[in-house]
Structure formats: C-alpha cells, structure tokens
Structure 1
Amino acid sequence: MKFNKKDLKTLTNIIASRRDVRGNNFINKKISSKKLNIILQSALNAPSVGFSQPWKFIIVDKDKQDLVYTHFMKSFEKSKKKFIDRPLYSSLKLEGIKESDINIAVYYKKSSSNTLGQTYMKRTGEYSVVCAILNMWLTARALNIGMGWVSILKPKKINKIFNMNKNQYKFIAYLCLGYTKEFYDEPELKKLKWNKKLKLDECLIS
C-alpha cells in the first residue's frame, strides 16, 4: 500500500491536533462499542519489541473508577507540596476520571522467557506499551474523541485496586476517553503558559 500527500497531510493534522483532555472538557455522551473497538484495535497495531505484544487493557467499571478517583485526589493534594513555587498548579484540572465516558487501565505483561531485542534494554517492553497508547490517542482524535492520561497515581495502589500481581504485570497508564466540548487549538498547558513549546533545533544534540 502506498500513501499520497493528502494522506500525509491528514496524518500530520491528527498528530498536531492531539490533546491531553481533562475533566473540564468532557461531555456526557457515550462512546459506541464499535468506536471503542476501533481504538483498541489500533493499539494492537503498535510496534513491539520482538513482536511480544505485551499490552493488556482493563475497561474500568464504576466502582473501580471511584476508588481510582479517591486515590488520585489524595495523591494530587500531596503533590502540591512539590509545586509550592507555582501557584497555578493548585488550580489545574489534571484528570477526567468521573467526567469521561470510559476509563482504561493499561498494563505491561512481563515476559517469563527471553524476548528478542530485550536482552540489554529491559524496558523496551514497557516502551512498546506506550507506543500502543499513542496509537489509541491518535485514533481517538481521528474519531473526534478526547483522551487524557492520568499520571498522578501510585502504581502500587492501582495494582491493589485491580488485584494485579506486580510480578506478572506493570502498571503503565490510566486513560480517560470521552467526547469533548472542544479540542483546544494548542495544548492546554501551553495556553496557560506552564511551559513553552520547544523548537526542533532545541531538541537536537550536536
């Protein structure tokens, strides 16, 4: 299969329009099982070290969502101490656990045998799972569905909530998906001047 300039332009626009969506932007609208399946299937097409496909997904039920939310709020309050010099932090909405339609917990399944390509770089399996998450993010955006990654969580606590054995699985991400009021024209933290967007020459090491 070959692609053309129009395909490239569409892909570039989707990548540039991807946003980390928070609870202040989700709306009360259901994601169909068909569209959820499209998003999850896109994850399965991600590259993985040694074709290991080490990703596992949990579609989170309401009771578990409540437990994750309670844990998040405690973690968020504690994290404020680390940003005491940045007052903006306390006012940020950093999750959409309750407002989004679907929550997904993403895990890396540890290999019980040697994996091609993982001999010296042990964490490439985890990186593979992150590639799957990005596929989901871009596919969701192409479907005009928002996605947010909640990162102020303690893996040990999340494992307990989902009864996951840390010797077999490693917690990677907690994702919130739902339709949105809008997609911002630029990243929210850039709009709020939390940080500036780097230019390409600032990312090159010479």
Structure 2
Amino acid sequence: MFADDERRAVYRVIHERRDMRRFSTGTSVPDAVLARLLAAAHAAPSVGLMQPWRFIRITDTGLRHKIHALVDEERQHTAAALGTRASEFLALKVEGILECAELLVVALGDGRDSHVFGRRTMPHMDLASVSCAIQNLWLAARAEGLGMGWVSIFDPQRLAELLEMPDGAEPVAVLCLGPVPDFPDRPALEIDEWTNARPLAEFVSENRWN
C-alpha cells in the first residue's frame, strides 16, 4: 500500500483533472516532461498486451491549421445536428488547437485484427485500451501542472488522410496540451451551463441493472 499522502495525491489529481479548452499562448512543454507524459500513456493496460495506440506529435504550423479547419468544419455540422441548441453550442469553446503548446493526435494502429485475445467477442477493446492510455496521459499532465483537452469533433477519415495513416489505422483523439491560465473547480460544460454532472449513485447498482 502507498503512504497516505501518496494516495491523497492520486485521488486529488483524478478529481482535479479537467477537459481544458483555454491555454496560455506562447508557452512550451519541456522535452523531458513530454517524454514522461508519453511514457505514462505507454504504461497503460491493453487487452492481450496489444498496445494499439499510436501518438503523432504535430509540430508543423501549417498542419496544425489544417487540423483546426477540419475541427471547425465538423463543429458547424454538429451545431446543425443539435437543432434548437445550435447557437448555444457555437458559443462554447470546444478546442484550443491553435493556442496550446503541444498538439497530439492519438490513433488506433493498423494490424489490430490479428489480436484475437480479448477481442473475439468484444472487438472494441482496442479502443478501450487506447482510452486508458489517453487517461494516463491526462492524469500525468495534471500532475505536471499542465492542462489537456480531448477534441473529438472531426471526420476520422479526412484526418487519417491528412496525416497519411495506413489502411486500418484510425484517429481517436486530437489532444491539446500545455500550460493553462487556471484549472476551474468544475467541468467547463457545467460552468457554461451546457449540462450538469450527475451523482455516482445514479450509475451504481447491485446484481442487476437498476
């Protein structure tokens, strides 16, 4: 068992993690810190030890702008699909692609179909494994005092083509990473009055679905 202060630190970073959209411009992430974050992601569990994750660091400014354009286009489509909440959605800040210090694209690697262990009846376990890696990176970033935002508003096929991914590979997330002005004490979507988090009791039952 870990010491009391170490356990408290783990729970603190879990509860103080936020999906960040606002970043401090003109900042950077030291190479050693980025290496630690990626190592934390790579230490995630994966079904059958398949390690399906791939990380693409975007360092080209022009490419960053193209990714932003893809996200902004899908943002308009999402707004249209929301109907009466379209204008409310468009008022939200949903990404920090152009402002963040580091931009990463996380993808499912090709060749995953060869991994039968853990995927015969639940083939989506590769996506679950990648999500574990992203969460590891997220928590490590918060522990380093950095913000991270998961952007999922994009056309996967177009992003895959833009990044020249091989057949079978699939982008899962655009991650904005870097120093932030502050960490809000509540989720941004609560602060922006988009929705409210529900209590744990609504999600836990015993022996059967309730």
Task: Flag whether TM exceeds 0.5 (same fold).
Answer: yes
Q: Residue 182 of structure 1 aligns with which residue?
A: 182
Q: Could you tell me which amino acid in structure 2 is paired with residue 177 of structure 1?
A: L
> How far is the alpha carbon of 1:6 from its aligned partner?
1.5
In structure 2, the gaps of 5 or more residues are none
- Give the secondary structure class of the aligned counterpart of 2:170: strand
- Give the secondary structure class of the aligned counterpart of 1:57: strand
Q: Residue 104 of structure 1 aligns with which residue?
A: 104
**In the alignment, structure 1 residue 17 sits paired with structure 2 residue 16:** yes
> How far is the alpha carbon of 1:180 from its aligned partner?
0.5
Q: Could you tell me which amino acid in structure 2 is paired with residue 181 of structure 1?
A: P
CA distance in 2, matches of 1:199, 1:175: 27
Contact 1:26 1:146 in 2 (8 A): no
> How far is the alpha carbon of 1:115 from its aligned partner?
3.2
CA distance in 2, matches of 1:194, 1:100: 23
Q: How does 1:145-156 map to 2 (within 5 A)?
A: 145-156=146-157
CA distance in 1, matches of 2:43, 2:70: 32
- Give the secondary structure class of the aligned counterpart of 1:66: helix
Q: Residue 52 of structure 2 aligns with which residue?
A: 54
Contact 1:144 1:179 in 2 (8 A): yes
- Give the secondary structure class of the aligned counterpart of 2:149: strand
Q: Residue 38 of structure 1 aligns with which residue?
A: 36
Contact 1:52 1:115 in 2 (8 A): no
Contact 1:102 1:176 in 2 (8 A): yes
CA distance in 1, matches of 2:80, 2:24: 28
CA distance in 2, matches of 1:85, 1:13: 38
Q: Residue 138 of structure 2 aligns with which residue?
A: 137
Q: Could you tell me which amino acid in structure 1 is paired with residue 54 of structure 2?
A: K
**In the alignment, structure 1 residue 122 sits paired with structure 2 residue 120:** no
Q: TM-score, normalised by structure 1?
A: 0.93
In structure 1, the gaps of 5 or more residues are none
Deviations for 1:102-138, whole angstroms, at most 9, x for unmatched residues? 1101111142523321121111011101100000000
Q: TM-score, normalised by structure 2?
A: 0.92
What fraction of aligned residue pairs are identical, expressed as a percent?
Answer: 31
Q: How many residues align?
A: 203
- Give the secondary structure class of the aligned counterpart of 2:72: helix
**In the alignment, structure 1 residue 165 sits paired with structure 2 residue 172:** no
Q: Residue 82 of structure 1 aligns with which residue?
A: 81
Deviations for 1:48-107, whole angstroms, at most 9, x for unmatched residues? 001111111100122211111111111112221122322321111111111001110111
